[in-house]
């Protein structure tokens, strides 16, 4: 399934519901600090988390100024309130799997999966379909002719369609009447699309196909050292800390878990991890151009961490060390001492590695990615997002950096504004398409990215750009482009913009 849109409301500074259309590859959320960009990602992540599962908490997450009032109106609990819902488009693989569960129906193009989660933690799904499309699909399956289909889809409810089909069958010729007469029976197969609600079995089948959401921020960075004994205990207790999910993902790339390194054969385990790190490093340095003389090295140690009070014997723990060998200077240093930008880049690829080649849909949520990267390195990572990551999985990322914006992909941007003020605290967040006439502080990164792109073209000849002064020049170029396209030649990608 592909995420098509998301609706968020009654969550933190989202006092009123806000609708966000999502691109099929990459969607960029632009806004100032504290505008609500992270809130969008947090809400989506909690819908169906792939990592670091978190839950809605009505005391912490419900808009504070409305909490007491709305609790009174809801008889003391807000568990039924829906802070996030999303719409998904079925892909061919989903249709193939779900068709049998839904009685072999032919899903019309307008079918959408709607999923929503409540403050109480319940995740619900349903199928939404245009009534006319469902009736048309049933009529075509029954073999009805176009004229008869047009007559039947004009009715407003299932009972009216059935009654009309029975009457029409009596008056039509044998072949046509027989086909229309089959419509009521075939229509029964489409009850899941026509009625509200689906069976538990159908609901579970849809849930099994629902994309999960992978959230990554600075809190998931790898640490230079990890006590694998302690990590194994945290895994068993279900109490993972910051960065634990990332190191577990790194271990899974090697087909291992923290327990595996506690055995005597840990050297062979380390070899597996080293092999995985080589593959991961190749990915990193495909896009990391700041220093390509680095090599990731894994090592382990068994220091004494205490003494057993019963036996007085030394207690040793297996420590996994992540180090970087810098071939330029011939030294090895701990991963945590390297630049914050490299730590972020490597940690993200390590964390997402477990999902990179997954056949299931995973929506990637990146919160302010690459803020610690140099501007050119941010550009490298942006190319990775659009050129590789977004080609396999959908990506939503937040930014306020001009280097994390591709001005040629204007349609992928969404502006996030928090309109609340001291005078009007009841106003909340609104999400709109990016417009150059909008709040200057919100769209500043877009203006800067446009200016930087134009400057590179003027001074360095970088990129194909043509700037015109007036509308007449623009119309002339548009007509010339249209003429070239009509002759089977290449036209010009024209993007009109108004700059204040």
pLDDT tens, 288-323?
A: 777 777 777 777 788 888 888 888 888 888 888 888
Which domains are present in the chain? 1-42+361-465 (3.40.50), 82-210 (no CATH), 216-359 (no CATH), 467-500 (no CATH)
pLDDT tens profile 435-447: 765 677 777 777 6
Q: Under 8 Å CB-to-CB from 114, ≥6 apart: which residues?
A: 85, 86, 87, 88, 125, 126, 127, 128
pLDDT of residue 500: 41
3-state helix, strand, coil in the chain (%, to 5): 45, 20, 35
225-246 b/e (C-beta count within 10 Å ≥ 16 → b)? ebbbbbbbebeeeeebeebbbb
Q: Are 25 and 411 in contact (CB under 8 A)?
A: no
Q: Is 415 exposed, middle or buried (0-12, 13-18, 19+ CB in 10 A)?
A: buried
**131: number of Cβ within 10 Å:** 17
Q: Which residues of the chain have pLDDT under 70?
A: 196, 263-267, 269, 436-438, 447, 449-471, 494-500
Sign of the dihedral defined by the CA atoms of residues 8, 13, 16, 19, in that order: negative
CA separation (Å) from 375 to 193, 402, 404, 449, 452? 49, 9, 8, 11, 11
Q: Provide the 8-state DSSP code for 156.
A: S
- Would you state the torsion angle of the CA atoms of residues 194, 198, 204, 206, taken in this order, to the nearest 10 degrees? 20
pLDDT of residue 52: 81
Residue 330: phi and psi, rounded to 5, are 70, 35
pLDDT of residue 84: 96
**What residues pair up with 227 in beta bridges, in sequence order?**
319
Q: Provide the 8-state DSSP code for 362.
A: E
pLDDT of residue 209: 94
Q: Are 380 and 285 in contact (CB under 8 A)?
A: no
């Amino acid at each position: 399934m592909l995420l098509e849109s998301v609706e968020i409301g009654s969550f933190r500074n989202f006092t009123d519901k806000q609708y966000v259309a999502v691109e099929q590859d990459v969607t960029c959320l632009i806004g100032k600090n504290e505008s609500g960009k992270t809130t969008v990602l947090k809400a989506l992540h909690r819908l169906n988390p792939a990592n670091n599962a978190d839950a809605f908490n009505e005391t912490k997450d419900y808009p504070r100024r409305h909490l007491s009032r709305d609790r009174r109106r809801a008889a003391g609990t807000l568990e039924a309130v829906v802070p996030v819902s999303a719409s998904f488009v079925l892909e061919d693989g989903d249709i193939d799997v779900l068709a049998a569960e839904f009685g072999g129906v032919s899903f019309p193009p307008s079918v959408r999966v709607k999923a929503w989660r409540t403050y109480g933690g319940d995740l619900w799904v349903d199928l939404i379909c245009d009534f006319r499309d469902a009736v048309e699909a049933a009529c075509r399956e029954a073999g009805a002719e176009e004229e008869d289909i047009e007559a039947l889809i004009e009715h407003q409810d299932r009972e009216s369609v059935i009654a009309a089909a029975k009457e029409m069958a009596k008056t039509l010729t044998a072949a046509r009447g027989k086909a229309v007469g089959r419509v009521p029976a075939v229509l029964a197969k489409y009850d899941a699309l026509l009625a509200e609600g689906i069976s538990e079995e159908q609901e579970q089948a849809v849930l099994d196909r629902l994309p999960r959401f992978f959230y990554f921020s600075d809190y998931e960075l790898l640490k230079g050292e990890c006590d694998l004994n302690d990590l194994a205990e945290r895994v068993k207790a279900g109490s993972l800390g910051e960065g634990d999910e990332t190191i577990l993902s790194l271990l899974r790339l090697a087909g291992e878990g923290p327990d595996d390194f506690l055995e005597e054969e840990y050297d062979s385990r380390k070899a597996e991890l080293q092999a995985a790190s080589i593959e991961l490093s190749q990915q990193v340095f495909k896009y990391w151009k700041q220093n390509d003389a680095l090599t990731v090295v894994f090592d382990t140690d068994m220091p004494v961490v205490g003494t057993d009070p019963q036996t007085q014997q030394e207690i040793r723990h297996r420590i996994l060390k992540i180090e970087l060998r810098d071939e330029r200077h011939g030294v090895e240093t701990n991963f945590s001492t390297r630049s914050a930008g490299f730590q972020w880049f490597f940690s993200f690829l390590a964390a997402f590695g477990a999902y990179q080649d997954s056949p299931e849909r995973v929506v990637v949520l990146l919160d302010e990615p690459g803020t610690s990267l140099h501007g050119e390195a941010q550009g490298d990572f942006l190319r990775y997002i659009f050129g590789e990551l977004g080609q396999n999985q959908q990506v939503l990322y937040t930014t306020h950096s001009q280097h994390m914006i591709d001005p040629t992909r204007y349609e992928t941007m969404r502006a996030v504004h928090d309109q609340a003020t001291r005078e009007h605290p009841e106003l909340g967040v609104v999400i709109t398409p990016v417009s150059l006439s909008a709040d200057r502080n919100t769209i500043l990164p877009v203006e800067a990215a446009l200016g930087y792109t134009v400057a590179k073209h003027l001074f360095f000849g970088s990129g194909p750009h043509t700037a015109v002064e007036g509308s007449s020049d623009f119309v002339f170029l548009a007509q010339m482009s249209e003429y070239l396209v009509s002759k089977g030649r290449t036209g010009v990608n024209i993007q009109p913009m108004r700059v204040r």
